[in-house]
Amino acid sequence: MDELVRELAPQVLGVLVRRGADFAAAEDAVQEALVEAVRRWPDDPPDDPRAWLITVAWRKFLDANRSESARRTREVRVHEEPPAGPAEVRDDTLLLLFLCCHPSLTPASAIALTLRAVGGLTTAQIAAAHLVPEATMAQRISRAKRTVAQAGVGEPGELSRVLKVLYLVFNEGYTGDVDLAAEAIRLTRMLRHVSEEPEVAGLLALMLLHHARRAARWTDEGALVPLADQDRSRWDTTLIAEGVEILQGALACDRLGEYQAQAAIAALHCDARTAEETDWTQVLEWYDELLALTASPVVALNRAVAVGQADGPLAGLRALETVPPDVPRRVAVEAWLHERAGDIDASAVLYAQAAAAASSTAERDHLTRQAARLRHGS
């Protein structure tokens, strides 16, 4: 029953919002309906759980609005509402995703609201995943609801913002008892069912291809394992095959976007049986496409790595000169290129500098080990 409720709750919330209910009030009504469902369904399960939840949630919403004029207006809208069908489920899911990614929200608030309203996670689960107190997360979600209520839904936002939020959720990874990477994949699958845009498929493919390598990214002790050193027998070939198939379908639409280009790069890495067999010339070509699409300094940094692999470390260092010095991990890339060029002393110093600026303990420890390895000649 828990899985059914989690699947239906966002759909029901979307219906109430589409009918004109305030977001916060609509969610309160849905939660009350879910409580009612937990109490009644074990003894008297409905034939159509979704329709039952919509009816009860809408009644709860109307009961919370005591004004007779408001009640009459909304009741008329209920009677005029056509029976819910498959198309409505699609529209409501998309509406809810856009609402949770409202342009008035910060990325952090959009992520929290998406996980709460669309993902069906509890506030406690979201707080644990982000390593913050539950009260702090509850305040963040409440502020997000108020912001959306004050700004109004207005015209639908750009799909790119929804994709960005889902991408950020995926990059949160796994913390607490919630696997946010898996949750992001689930939500992106849901979005793909309601949108035929190739970039949605591109993002899903990208997530699957990265997720497929997850088991090989860390040692049993929690140490970071670089892509070149990963045990590729631990990669999930089923996810890789699915990701490649989805990507091929997206690319066939001939409307290239940044997530499709990123997924193409990930597919090339997954296709190589060993690191040495990676087709770096093609990887570099895709980075050229990606840089043209985004003009991102982070992409330029990753492109410098590809240049170093395809054309040699000195060419990679020349490409690195165009990357601003404050881009995260730039010093680590410079250290790696210097090592490949044979400048071991400079590389050791740069690895140590990169370790000092690392954003995570795992990354810091990895870079520290690289510096020590070069200093001790091992």
* pLDDT tens profile 201-240: 999 999 999 999 999 999 988 889 999 999 999 999 999 9
* Antiparallel, parallel or unpaired: β 174-175 and 178-179: antiparallel
Beta strands (DSSP E) in the chain are 174-175, 178-179
Collect the ranges in the chain with pLDDT lower than 70. 1, 66-91, 93, 152-157, 174-178, 378
Mapped onto helix, strand or coil, the DSSP state of residue 307 is helix
Instruction: Judge contact between 235 and 212, C-beta under 8 A.
Output: yes
Give the model confidence (pLDDT) of 186-201 as tens digits: 889 988 988 889 999 9
Element (H, E) at 126: helix 123-129
Phi then psi dihedrals of residue 336, to 5 deg? -65, -40
Q: 311 is written with which tokens?
A: 């054309």
Q: 88 is written with which tokens?
A: 């409505």
Q: 81 is written with which tokens?
A: 């509402």
**Predicted pLDDT at 316:** 98
341: DSSP letter? T
**Predicted pLDDT at 174:** 59
Domain locations in the chain as residue ranges: 1-66+90-159
| Furthest CA-CA distance within the chain | 82
Give the model confidence (pLDDT) of 305-325 as tens digits: 999 999 999 999 999 999 999
Instruction: Judge contact between 47 and 55, C-beta under 8 A.
Output: no
What angle, rounded to 10 degrees, do the helices at 23-40 and 49-63 form? 130
**Predicted pLDDT at 176:** 53
**Predicted pLDDT at 241:** 97
Cα end-to-end distance, the chain, whole Å: 56
Task: Tell me the CA distances in angstroms from 48 to 52, 88, 338, one per residue in order.
Answer: 6, 15, 64
**Predicted pLDDT at 74:** 46
C-alpha 30: how far from chain center: 25
Instruction: Judge contact between 322 and 300, C-beta under 8 A.
Output: yes
Distance CA 264, CA 261 (A): 5
Question: Up-side HSE of residue 356: CA atoms within 13 Å toward CB?
Answer: 7
Instruction: Judge contact between 99 and 148, C-beta under 8 A.
Output: yes
Instruction: Judge contact between 85 and 11, C-beta under 8 A.
Output: no
**Predicted pLDDT at 86:** 39
Nearest CA-CA partner of 112 in 92, 146, 137: 137
| Model confidence, pTM | 0.81
**Predicted pLDDT at 78:** 45
